[in-house]
Amino acid sequence: MLAALAAGALWAAPGQALAAPATTWCGTPGTVDRLPEGNPGAPVHWIYAIPSDGTDRLATEIGTQMQTDAETIDGWWRGQDPTRTPRFDTLGFGCGQQLDISFVTLNSTAAELQPIASRFARILAGIEAAGFSSAVTKYIVYYDGPGDGTNVCGEGAGSAESEGVAIEFLSACDGLPSSVVVAHELLHSLGALPAPGPPHACPGDDGHPCDSQLDLLYPVATSGVPLTSLMLDVGHDDYYGHSGLWFDIQDSRWLRHLDTAPSHLSVVIQGAGTIASDVPGISCTASCESDWDANQPVGLVANAGPGMRFVRWSGGCTGNADCTSRLRRRRRSRRSSRRRHLPCRSRSPAAAVFARARLLAYARRVASCRSLLSTPSRSVRCRSRAGALRAGPARARERGSRARCR
């Protein structure tokens, strides 16, 4: 069962225009999640997506906006909690560590993607068709296509333990900082607001807290108000750093631990073959090293090269099966191969397909609630766990739910 999904509709009051981005993205786009990860472990991967008939603005404009937003969110998060920050997926380029941004041309046209009721499901299907469907990766998607005039800024849905997607609609919500939209939807993709448990959940909307307008997850936003003016769980009693029994976003595996020294993993290969981690981090064809957050469980899979067979592990791993290790100190793992062909194993994608089907089904239920909300003749109340961030000429409450409508 998909756990702790989050959503709603957030309206933004008009405000001052935003300053121009200060950071220039100097990387190059990819079509896959590239390795090695700059921050090994369960990552938050960034995607720039356009309709099948859209115009690519990644290199000229949006790449820099995405890099700036990532650095803004990272700095803001560290200011709110010096021990944590999202594990944004970075890659080493000639200019240094930058976001590893993937470029996806969706299999739907701009016209097909325009209606908000089906946009989330179509974008999700499009990035999955492009190969982005890992249950150990959260995805932030900047969708660059026309909207339908409803001023929905973004949508997000996710599980505390597996799949999650946060989508920013670039054509909507002028004046609302994109870093605010992305950070808000990222929290939904991480599983906020957990339910039941939080004491300040909004009446009729358990996906958002209503105790303070300064909370990033509050269902009302004001255009022009920067991320630095907002807080990560005011009072720390609803979804982050709380003492309750419900899920705490601070414990999310998609957050880096800044309060402990990293654990160093050294892999030595004897013979021909590949060693890869079970979460994005390494994929080595020769001896390699990487630093991980302490106490992370890491699985290593060895595949022998042509004419070789896998013999055994030594060092931090033993035996001849896949190696699983919890990184507490410097680790050095060695694998040996001997000549003789051993076919690479293949893993069944059934679990990933099933998880995506559940997420799409949930998105359809939320879309149904949203379409009813837009009909003036109907009175609808939705309780949602997948999110829609709205902007408008005035303030309004964010709505959404597990899709219980009336």
User: Residue 385: is its pLDDT beyond 70?
Assistant: no
Instruction: Classify residue 64: in a domain, yes or no.
Output: yes
**Exposed, middle or buried by CB within 10 Å (0-12, 13-18, 19+), for 226?**
middle
Residue-range definition of the domain harbouring residue 43: 11-252+352-401
- 288 lies in the same domain as 359: no
Instruction: Look up tokens 């009336």; give the residue.
Output: 406
What's the predicted TM-score (pTM) here?
Answer: 0.78
User: Residue 86: is its pLDDT beyond 50?
Assistant: yes
Instruction: Classify residue 279: in a domain, yes or no.
Output: yes
Mean pLDDT across 357-367? 45
pLDDT at 205 (0 to 100): 86
- 177 lies in the same domain as 208: yes
Give the mean pLDDT of the chain: 78
Burial state string for 340-368 with b = 16 or more CB within 10 A and e = fewer than 16: eebeeeeeeeeebeebbebbbebbebbbe
Instruction: Classify residue 4: in a domain, yes or no.
Output: no
Instruction: Classify residue 406: in a domain, yes or no.
Output: no
Each residue's pLDDT tens digit, 142-152: 999 998 888 78
pLDDT at 327 (0 to 100): 64
CATH at residue 333:
2.60.40
User: Left (φ > 0), alpha (ψ -120 to 50) or beta: where does 344 sit?
Assistant: beta
- 235 lies in the same domain as 266: no
Token reading at 49: 């997506």
Each residue's pLDDT tens digit, 191-231: 998 888 999 999 988 889 999 999 999 887 778 899 999 99
Predicted confidence band of residue 382 (pLDDT cuts 50, 70, 90): very low
Each residue's pLDDT tens digit, 89-127: 999 998 988 999 999 999 999 999 999 999 999 999 999
User: Residue 330: is its pLDDT beyond 80?
Assistant: no
- 100 lies in the same domain as 32: yes
How many CB atoms lie under 10 A from the CB of residue 156?
31
- 168 lies in the same domain as 27: yes
Mean pLDDT across 31-48? 90
pLDDT at 260 (0 to 100): 86
Residue 193 near residue 215, CB atoms below 8 Å: no
Give how many domains the chain has, as a whole number.
2
- 223 lies in the same domain as 292: no
